[in-house]
Amino acid sequence: MFRYLFAASAVLAFAGGAVAQTQSGSHNPAVKDGAPHMTAAPAKGANSFTEDQARGRFAKAGYEAIGKLTKQNGVWQGTATKGGKRAAVMLDYKGNVTAR
């Protein structure tokens, strides 16, 4: 009897953890999808992206004709075109793309 009770407890414990990992909308998802995320404002912090990596992130987000990029206060900044419209683009240390 004890063996069945222990097995049932273990199954419930593992099932609860699996449900928690599949919830969407988490700021820190269990599985990173690799897609660039658009945010309203860049996060401040030390940025380890190189200029080439920043250009790649902007291109992956759909931006073309990426102009000169500069890093200020840990945020890569520049201009780029998306859908025929020119915008100021920023990339924070988390890899989030912001456009204005």
Q: Are 80 and 89 in contact (CB under 8 A)?
A: yes
Q: Are 98 and 38 in contact (CB under 8 A)?
A: yes
15-37: pLDDT as tens digits: 555 444 444 455 555 655 666 77
Instruction: Pick 31 or 91 by higher pLDDT.
Output: 91
Amino acid 43: pLDDT: 81
With cut-offs at 50, 70 and 90, classify the pLDDT of residue 4.
Answer: low
Structural domains in the chain (count): 1
What is the arithmetic mean of pLDDT over 37-54?
87
Amino acid 86: pLDDT: 97
Hunting for tokens 């931006």 — which residue is that?
Answer: 63
- Domain holding 94, by residue range, is 2-99
Q: With a cut of 70, say whether residue 71 has pLDDT above it.
A: yes
**99: part of which helix (H) or strand (E)?**
strand 97-99
What the block records as the tokens of 34 is: 């690799």
- φ and ψ of 94, to 5 deg: -85, -10
User: For all residues of the chain together, what is the average pLDDT?
Assistant: 80
